Each structure stands twice: as structure tokens, then as C-alpha cells.
Amino acid sequence: MAERIRAHRLSRQGRWETFEIPVDVAKWFSVEGRRYRTVVLDCLTLWLSNLQRQGIPAADVPTQVRDMLQAARRANGRVVIVTNELGLGIVPPDRATRRFRTLAGQVNQQVAEEADEVHLAMSGLTLRLK
């Protein structure tokens, strides 16, 4: 993974600033978001996983998402949020993974409802959904 990250950073040729924000994305947007014309949040699914690892109950996740989206709206530029579609694959055999997949789908729906545009990217092709 370290090699993949290094190669990805090299491909950007210093044109991007990268911030590792495991949990408090809303705070980052509030403090730093106005400095940039474009912000790419990559990725929503990993953020959700980090929230869960921090012990945030599933019932509190919609509030966390709402707070993040409100902070992102206050950023001056364009915000692109990348996420994973987990519901198109095999149904996981264990309950915890199924619950995470369901929660990720709910988070994706919440973000899509708020978003100005929604695009699905698959196999190098994109489809505008909204």
C-alpha cells in the first residue's frame, strides 16, 4: 500500500496537497476548506470505517454526515466526494460486514440527496445520475 500511495503522489507531480483526516472531516472543512478552489474527499467509505473504529454508533452517523456536508458547503470551491458502491457485490456472510454495507449505502444516499451532482464511475466510464 505504501508503494501505491508513493506512485499515486508522484503521478500528481506536486500539484496537489494531501491531508490525512481520519475522522474530523467537518472540522477540516471549517478550518481549511475555504483555502482551495477544489477539494477531493477520498473516500467516504474509509471515513465511515474510521468513524466506526472510533466507536461512533451507527445511529450517530447521519449527524456526522450532516455536519460534514454543512461544513463542505461552506468551502469556497468545488467539493468532490468519492465513495464506494458496496451493494453491487456478493452479500457478505457475516452480520457485521452486512451492517457496514447497509450503513455505507445509507450514507451514500444521504450524500447523494444533498449533492448538486452524482456520478457513477465503473470500468473507466461515468454515468451522471443526478
Rounded CA-CA distance 61/99 in Å is 13
* Length of the chain measured in residues: 130
Residue 70: how many CB atoms within 10 A of its CB? Answer: 13
8 among known catalytic residues? yes
Cα dist. 100→10, 21, 89, 105 in Å?
Answer: 33, 20, 14, 9
Closest CA to 69 of 19, 22, 114: 114
Catalytic position from the list 3, 4, 6, 8: 8
Beta strand ranges found along the chain (DSSP E): 38-42, 78-82, 119-122, 125-128
Contact 55, 28 (CB under 8 A): no
Enzyme catalytic residues: 8
